[in-house]
Amino acid sequence: MIKDLIKLYKERRELTLLEITYFTLSVITFAVAGIIALFNQSLGVSILIVPLIALIAGVVNIVAWSVVKLVIESLINRKNADKAADKPAKTIKK
């Protein structure tokens, strides 16, 4: 698993790496909170706030990244369309 994370980092796939980190943090903290809740219910429930915040942060990051990517791609497409419109059309000689 560590090799896969290093590979993602080298490939500059930061968003995927961030998603994996948030998910892993949520799962581990959820399990720890469950175990602690067996001994002290109020403390276990209090710790459940951490995975909730991690999941919310992960979802917000994914949505924000999608919006930024959508805006950038639409700007690039618009710029390419403007360049294509500026070029004179080729005339066909008979």
Give the residue extent of every domain in the chain: 2-86
What's the rounded mean pLDDT across residues 7-25? Answer: 78
Other CB atoms within 10 A of residue 89 CB: 6
What is the reported pTM? 0.63
Average pLDDT, the chain: 81
Contact 33, 48 (CB under 8 A): yes
CA dihedral 58, 62, 63, 65 (to 10 degrees): 130
CA–CA gap between residue 23 and residue 10 (Å, rounded): 20
